[in-house]
Amino acid sequence: SAVISQKPSRDICQRGTSLTIQCQVDSQVTMMFWYRQQPGQSLTLIATANQGSEATYESGFVIDKFPISRPNLTFSTLTVSNMSPEDSSIYLCSIRGKVMDTEAFFGQGTRLTVV
Amino acid sequence: QKEVEQNSGPLSVPEGAIASLNCTYSDRVSQSFFWYRQYSGKSPELIMSIYSNGDKEDGRFTAQLNKASQYVSLLIRDSQPSDSATYLCAVNIQGAQKLVFGQGTRLTINP
């Protein structure tokens, strides 16, 4: 399976600031996915990032709050904007297997604490 | 109704016993189902994938799928303390290329 590198691994940020999380994959992938995992909760999909087009956001997530870039087939960023303590979560980058509808693989996650 | 539902637990099982984890889903046309294990502070790791009705075995793990009942389960035989983790059921939403996760079941294996 591909190697997915995410950084930073953790950060503590002041409310009102923004944090950009980077995700690098060691092979080209069509789609990259960003998930949020709030404390004690399961994974919720934020958006799907395709290279060359705007990201597709899930219900409850908006581009102004979570802008995403996908400049090429191996890299994506997620920005958490104007942060509040409610944004404290783990953010995970994910890719799918090479065959459609197969398993997902995850980066190591970014643990964000907003104070 | 949630798209994917699991009992959140905690589920406590003695070492050496069989742990049984259950999951139901609402999308009748889903064809791909996955079980992930997540240790505290770590990202999810894939344990099993299952695409056809019936059982699929891999070592101590058996996944069971019943599409008619919209039910997926995971059995862990000879449970070990190292199996203590949260187990996440995930269902692929057909045509959308996205996975929806259940809320996870926290499993504790007692020595």
Q: Give average pLDDT by consecutive 10-residue segment, chain B, 111 residues.
A: 85 97 91 94 94 96 96 97 97 84 96 91
| Position A59 pLDDT exceeds 70 | yes
Q: Residue holding tokens 């070990």?
A: B80
Judging contacts by C-beta atoms under 8 Å, the chain B residues touching residue A109 are 42-43
Q: What's the burial of A11, exposed, middle or buried (CB within 10 Å: 0-12/13-18/19+)? A: middle
Q: Phi first, then psi: give them for residue B82, nearest 5 degrees.
A: -70, -10
pLDDT tens digits for range A5-53: 999 999 999 999 999 999 999 999 989 999 999 998 889 999 999 888 8
What pLDDT sits at residue B85? 97
What the block records as the tokens of A93 is: 């980058």
Total CB pairs under 8 A between chain A and B: 47
Q: How many CB atoms lie within 10 A of CB A60?
A: 8
Output the DSSP codes for A64-79. TTS-EEEEETTEEEEE
pLDDT, position B96: 73
Other beta carbons within 10 angstroms of residue B98's beta carbon come to 20
> What pLDDT is attached to residue B28?
85
Whole-number percent of chain A with pLDDT over 90: 81
Query: How many angstroms separate the CA atoms of B38 and B17, rounded?
Result: 20
CB contact under 8 A, B88 and A92: no
Hey, are the CB atoms on B34 and A104 less than 8 Å from each other?
yes
**Interface touch A104/B46, C-beta < 8 Å:** yes
